[in-house]
Amino acid sequence: MYITFPQFPKYKVYISLHQNISSEKLQTIKENLASQNSEYNYCFLNAHHIISLAHLQQAIHRSVMNYSRGTMSAKTVNAEIILNLSPVNSIMDAFKNFGIREDCDSAIVVKIIEEDSNEDVSEKLTKLVGPESELNDQVLFDLVDFKRFKKVYKLNDAKFTHTQNDLSKLAIGACILRGC
């Protein structure tokens, strides 16, 4: 799906979910990311640590803001998204928790593009990662690894963590306050 942010009309964002990715494919993706193959210039995320679309979109929004202003903390906008999902400043930890790994068969892929570009992201991604799955809040919620999610966001002592909405708001708060 494509989203746009009212504040940043120059950009549109492509987001897709891919499930049951084979470990060979993950291996290939990881290798190409490591060698900075420009064909793989996407942000690949571990879907098991993302609780809602709002959670994901908060991080993308902040990354687009920093990208458009030249105030990014990471080297690339893809890494910036990963950092902005994290509640801690270490880019290593951010990649560990939100980047894809060989044992993570569900990935969210994000690509920030200029509004007037007519690049067919969807087609390219299907070739690289496989078919897209439906992406909505319910699907994301069903994929979350709650134990890990709560650990990453230090929510084990939080009072209300029953609903997706509760968890989503707390995760967003933690991302917003990263490094503060």
Partner 1 sequence: MTDHLIAAVQTHLPNIDVNIISQGAEALVFETTTHPYNQTSEDASKYIIKYRPPKPYRHPKIDASITKIRTVGEARIMYKLSKLGIPAPTLISSDFNNGIVWMEYLGYNLPNGNISSFKNWLWFLEETAKAQQDEEGEDLSLCVSEEVKLVCNKVGELIGRIHLNDVIHGDLTSSNIILLPENNEPALIDFGLSSISGLPEDKAVDLYVLERAILSTHSVFSNTYNTWLLQGYKDIHHSKEFKQGSKKYSETIKRLEDVRLRGRKRSMLG
Residues that bind partner 1 (CB under 8 A): 3, 5-7, 9, 53-54, 57-58, 60-62, 65, 71, 155, 157-160, 169-170, 172-174, 176-177, 180
- Which candidate, 51, 16, 56, 60, places its Cα nearest to that of 138? 51
What's the closest the beta carbon of residue 168 comes to partner 1, in angstroms? 9
What's the closest the beta carbon of residue 35 comes to partner 1, in angstroms? 32
Kind and range of the H or E element at 24? helix 23-34
Nearer to partner 1, 28 or 68 (CB): 68
Q: By the 8 A CB rule, do 37 and 28 touch? A: no
What's the closest the beta carbon of residue 97 comes to partner 1, in angstroms? 19
Nearer to partner 1, 3 or 33 (CB): 3
- Which candidate, 13, 12, 90, 81, places its Cα nearest to that of 46? 81
Nearer to partner 1, 21 or 108 (CB): 108
What's the closest the beta carbon of residue 78 comes to partner 1, in angstroms? 18
The Cα 157–Cα 117 span in angstroms is: 45
Q: Which two tokens stand for residue 125?
A: 């991604």
Nearer to partner 1, 40 or 149 (CB): 149
Phi-psi region of 15 (alpha: psi -120 to 50; beta: other; left: phi over 0): beta
